[in-house]
Amino acid sequence: MLKNIPAMLPPELLKLMAEMGHGDELVLCDANFPAASHAQRLVRCDGVGTVQLLEAILELFPLDTYVDRPATVMQVVKGDPVIPIIWEDYRRLIEEYEDISDALEYEERFNFYKRAAKAYAIIATGERAQYANLILKKGVIFPESKPAHVRVHSEPK
């Protein structure tokens, strides 16, 4: 057991996120996405929606600040009347956790599939909303000054 880790993040996903480096990509996909046939590494989170999972991930996972848009959604196929309102939740969470506005890039369906196949990992969710697929580009964790409560022990003389 660990403190302050969102309970919905399975150990396998935590391990994969920790292994990822700057620029690696993580795909959160909806229930209709062909995850198993595209994934190099697949984690199943079938009982979780993408919005809830995204929020838990953003508590731990930095997004790339060296690119204009560190998150990518699958474009609506021409002629499809679907309006993916779930994207507004993605925007809100990314702005809340990462302070990045206008973070979403839009990728044509088959290009999205190709990109997902190259991603470090795909997380299959139980999300039923259409076009709920999201690619996150991992960023950098920058050095911080030591918190006031941390004591630095001096070297023995």
* Strand, coil or helix: 56: helix
* Strand, coil or helix: 26: strand
The residues annotated as belonging to the active site are 22, 64, 113
Q: Specify whether the CB–CB gap between 138 and 66 falls below 8 A.
A: no
Distance in angstroms (rounded) separating the CA atoms of residues 136 and 72? 7
Q: Specify whether the CB–CB gap between 108 and 141 falls below 8 A.
A: no
* Strand, coil or helix: 101: coil
Q: Encoding tokens for residue 73?
A: 């959604």
